Structure 1
């Protein structure tokens, strides 16, 4: 049997510094201070396409992490995950300089409006030629709630119930409002759109009420490719119903294998083919032409790493202020409240603590967050890092990786120029896109629109034969 071919996404964030690499922006060879320019994004898009990457995946959230010490000051001073641009804005420019690489953007169902989001994503799908995806998230921080006019956050499971209703609204707009054949644009007859095939959508639910036609005609994919990241009980149920690809926050292959197996079983239970969901754990490799060069790159990264900013990031993820804890004293995680924690964070920490058999101190937690966070950060030659990838493929049955950068752009240049040729030689990575110039879903799942076994496909309107029009 030929080896399983994986896909690679670049994990980016539209702010100063990296996703989980605090302090690296200070390096002379780092370009992340240029993220307020279009040139940064168009250069990144060209690099990703040169490496035949499936997509550039933009993480995003509202406000910043202001839990550590009770304010955002630590993150601001450290220049870590602050000064966010809206990741939707550069994608059209990135699409204009590429043909095949796709773009996944994070949007929250907690505070977005489904009618507005449906229009945004349809517009983006048109302008990219069907190369867009939506990473569906719920918002969990108090600061986001306050900034967006709410007294407090919704409880965890209610956020997912709201997200589930949100999906019903956007499916209705994307799949039901404009029937097949509704777009005519016939210059001969003068008929632009067949009004009889474009219906008004009505939705009256607990969280959303709307009535109106989708403002945009059907895009190449109709519904964008759907990413999701939650691994709690409610998040997993949501993913098994809606997700086509899942961004995994897992530290080890064994941990990933459990999540993947459970999610595929849950998808099968609701009538979906288990392989129709693709799994992308995050990984942040440091790659050298030799082992010595890789170790030197790691040493340089450590010298610039900001563990306090990393700790502030972890405080934001968990909702627990870690500032009062002495930096070098062991911490007992079992006594911490998880009431406001992202449950996956604690699962990842527990797994990594068991395997590394070292006590957690705030400084060690901060350094972990500063260099890879809750994700593996293998250091070695391209061959050694490829071995790690193979282990994850064999033990966890992953479908690809979301690769985060330690420093820009050299981390991704090393992936493209050093790692990918090794993966190709091992038969683990394609030589070209399955459908060059095609849609994201064609290159991910082999077809333009939602699979028939996907819940969203139940909203599709069956094509009807054209009726003769009265003269």
Structure 2
């Protein structure tokens, strides 16, 4: 998220292609009792700025992403309780293959894994994967909704909880009577097969989502167990959280079972003066052009068309309203700043040092005040914060050695994991498997999906034998892609859960 910081002599981001980079990060996070490491991910890259990826490649910013799945397994191997959340897309990964990936990772990590569900929106990704363009926004979510039915069937319906027998006398490893094919015939997917992997510790990984649109919020209220937010102010976050929890409640879920983690980019010092020095030092290395390349990738607007040091003139621009709304959000995150005079350089620097996210600069006590305010019911009522680094490993060291002890002293951060060595869901929600009020509970063995209204008069045994068609008739009309997609999160973040 912080473009240009790799040029600092002490920054180790140049070694992000080595295993030690990630295993050291994992051990540091577990030392600080951090809930989870979160990997954002996407395909291809941002090539809107200047019509190419040159700016991003030259800056070394949000490019050359390694596949996070094998990294997650390595991080789990050097830790006992830290969890890992990995992003994968419903737009391009076959659901049968994805189910196998996460079942495998859940086994290898002892149940310390989450899936961040995304619907890919970048045209560069579509082109790289063989498509002419992205699927329109609402249809992507309709497809994703059916996708979830498929993976729920594979994770929850295909193998009975006691299917692994390992009876040496009878010579039975897996009881064939307790393993069945799932049969799914829908608008987007046809799947006939057993999950290739036996039930993992969590069966279904913890489910994260980051969509902020109306459709994305509805999707999260139905499927997500935790949500990453890209909100710049307390009031904005509070509104998003309250809205999503209200929708979840309408769907029969305990609204408090849906956890929210807004993103934050803190500059932490032993004193306020030291924190300000760290900010000034980061500002020295901030790359405004890379920040603009990131902004262009998120919004689809080529910011290279505007002179770098002149106020951005939106007169006659087709997406003037979309750009101005982002400027307003950025200004809201800069107290006392003039939101009307944005130059590309100012925008690029802002993006290179945290973007839309709150960026408190202060002592551990001052930053802890911000965490406490965001997590209070009078603030944003969030369940924790998703910390993004500015420099590696300095930002993470500051969190673990300075911020965490202050949060613990205030009693708003655990002294140890609730379930040391337990699964992610146990440490997040207090249960190993999906809650009974989650939509996916309709797919738990031997069930194959929710009972439809028109099936209410059928005999129970008939209903139980029928595969679900929960989403086939409820697809929204395709609409044009949103002018400003929900901003992607940085490649590696730490989810800090507060009590």
- Separation (CA, whole Å) in 1 of partners of 2:323 and 2:184: 31
SS in 1 for 2:366: helix
Q: Where does residue 437 of structure 2 map in the other structure?
A: 453
1:107, 1:134 within 8 Å by CA — same for their partners in 2? yes
SS in 2 for 1:89: helix
2:330, 2:355 within 8 Å by CA — same for their partners in 1? no
User: Unaligned regions of 5+ residues in structure 1, if any?
Assistant: 1-19, 464-471
Residue 228 (structure 1) shift: 0.3
Q: Where does residue 270 of structure 1 map in the other structure?
A: 251
| 1:361 maps to 2:343 | yes
Q: Where does residue 131 of structure 1 map in the other structure?
A: 112
Deviations 1:371-428 (A, max 9, x none): 0111111111000101111111121001001100000001010000000100000011
- Separation (CA, whole Å) in 1 of partners of 2:8 and 2:444: 51
Q: Where does residue 13 of structure 1 map in the other structure?
A: none
1:241, 1:270 within 8 Å by CA — same for their partners in 2? yes
Bigger drift between 453-462 and 337-346 goes to 337-346
Q: Where does residue 93 of structure 1 map in the other structure?
A: 74
- Separation (CA, whole Å) in 1 of partners of 2:241 and 2:215: 15
1:317, 1:342 within 8 Å by CA — same for their partners in 2? no
Deviations 1:25-70 (A, max 9, x none): 1111101111111111110000000000000000111111000010
| 1:196 maps to 2:177 | yes
2:375, 2:383 within 8 Å by CA — same for their partners in 1? yes
Q: Where does residue 187 of structure 2 map in the other structure?
A: 206
Q: Where does residue 402 of structure 1 map in the other structure?
A: 386
Q: Where does residue 64 of structure 1 map in the other structure?
A: 45
2:333, 2:358 within 8 Å by CA — same for their partners in 1? no
- Separation (CA, whole Å) in 2 of partners of 1:338 and 1:192: 60
SS in 2 for 1:323: helix
Q: Which runs of structure 2 are paired with 1:17-416 in the superposition (5 Å)?
A: 20-331=1-312, 337=318, 348-349=329-330, 351-352=332-333, 356-359=337-340, 360-394=342-376, 395-416=379-400
Q: TM-score, normalised by structure 1?
A: 0.91
2:26, 2:79 within 8 Å by CA — same for their partners in 1? yes
Bigger drift between 360-369 and 434-443 goes to 360-369
Q: Where does residue 469 of structure 2 map in the other structure?
A: none
- Separation (CA, whole Å) in 1 of partners of 2:62 and 2:230: 18
- Separation (CA, whole Å) in 2 of partners of 1:231 and 1:348: 14
Q: 1:86 to 1:436 in 2, by over 3 A?
A: same
Q: TM-score, normalised by structure 2?
A: 0.86
Q: 1:193 to 1:143 in 2, by over 3 A?
A: same
Deviations 1:274-329 (A, max 9, x none): 00110001101011111111111111100000011001100000011111112233
User: Unaligned regions of 5+ residues in structure 2, if any?
Assistant: 448-499
Q: 1:462 to 1:212 in 2, by over 3 A?
A: closer
Please provide the CA RMSD for this pair.
Answer: 2.0
Q: Where does residue 478 of structure 2 map in the other structure?
A: none
1:249, 1:348 within 8 Å by CA — same for their partners in 2? no
- Separation (CA, whole Å) in 2 of partners of 1:342 and 1:236: 22
Residue 461 (structure 1) shift: 1.2
1:288, 1:380 within 8 Å by CA — same for their partners in 2? yes
Bigger drift between 424-433 and 198-207 goes to 198-207
Residue 345 (structure 1) shift: 5.9
Residue 90 (structure 1) shift: 1.1
Deviations 1:158-215 (A, max 9, x none): 1111111111100000000001221111223211111111110111111111110000
- Separation (CA, whole Å) in 2 of partners of 1:68 and 1:318: 10
- Separation (CA, whole Å) in 2 of partners of 1:433 and 1:460: 28
- Separation (CA, whole Å) in 2 of partners of 1:350 and 1:238: 29
2:157, 2:446 within 8 Å by CA — same for their partners in 1? no
Deviations 1:236-275 (A, max 9, x none): 0100000000000000111100000000000001000000
- Separation (CA, whole Å) in 2 of partners of 1:100 and 1:403: 18
